Amino acid sequence: MIVTIDGVAASGKSSVSGGVARALGIPYVSSGLLYRAATLLGLDAGLDLGDPGALLAHLSSHPVRLEPLAEGNRVWRADRELTDDLHSTRVDKGVSVVAAHPQVRAWVDDQLRALPEPFVAEGRDMGTAVFPHAQHKFYLTASARIRAERRAKERPDDIPDIEAALIRRDELDANQIAPAADAQVLDTGPMTLDEVITTILRAVRA
Ligand code: CDP
């Protein structure tokens, strides 16, 4: 069984996916963390993020490993843990450029498709491009202001700056951001985290 939870930037996907996965007793995988890891490694190596050839060459000589733990995914490059460095403002800024390269998307998709079922997959295109055959699909939205207020708890920047950056990222991600036709769309604006998780669990268990 595969459950996909897609949605716009900062719509609560990771917290919701973790809660759903723990309740079901299965792992969840964050595709966004792999895009973030590719971005971080490119930035640290001083690469041009617009050059997919250089990025892919670097990624194949520095393999990245995603550990899909239910309490929170972790990402490693050899024995260096990257997880805590993946949610910086500089990675936020560069990640959409990296994620637009078809070669990088294939690098992420191959790793996800190699995972043994069951799991919850979280991202932008899990229910469309990567796992179109998934049994249960959800898509999370919320207004940009509400998302910025939530993310301000995790970033040092001001709410208006975060909101502008989220809107910009949604624009850059437009190619992979459409909900699957068979996804249940949830506006999480007026909902608590527990309400979103409960709604999804009810649908999965129905
Ligand atoms: O948590 P947030 O929505 O801010 O980001 P994320 O899920 O960690 O994804 C970071 C970035 O990776 C997105 O802005 C997209 O550019 C890219 N991404 C993607 O293109 N496709 C996915 N399935 C997941 C993430």
ipTM of the complex model? 0.94
State which fold the 2-198 domain adopts: Rossmann fold (3.40.50)
In this prediction, residue 8 carries a pLDDT of: 94
Rounded-to-5 percentages of helix, strand, coil across the chain: 50, 15, 35
Non-local CB neighbours of 139 within 8 Å, separated by 6+ positions: 5, 6, 7, 127, 179, 180, 183, 184, 185, 186
> Angle 201-10-160 (CA atoms, 0-180°, nearest 5)?
145
pTM equals 0.94
In this prediction, residue 177 carries a pLDDT of: 85
Regarding the beta carbon of 95 and ligand 1, being less than 6 Å apart is answered yes
78 is in an annotated binding site: no
Regarding the beta carbon of 75 and ligand 1, being less than 6 Å apart is answered no
Nearest CA to ligand 1 atom 25: 32
Atom of ligand 1 nearest to the CA of 86: 8
Kindly report, residue by residue over 149-198, the tens digit of the pLDDT.
Answer: 999 988 888 999 999 999 999 999 888 889 999 999 999 999 999 999 99
* Strand order, beta sheet including 64-67: 64-67, 74-77, 80-81
Cα(189)–Cα(186) distance, rounded to whole angstroms?
Answer: 9
Nearest CA to ligand 1 atom 1: 10
Q: Where are the beta strands (DSSP E) in 15-82?
A: 28-30, 64-67, 74-77, 80-81
- For ligand 1, the distance from its centroid to the CA atom of residue 32, given in whole angstroms, is 4
Kindly report, residue by residue over 81-140, the tens digit of the pLDDT.
Answer: 999 999 999 999 999 999 999 999 999 999 999 999 999 999 999 999 999 999 999 999
pLDDT at 65 > cutoff 90: yes
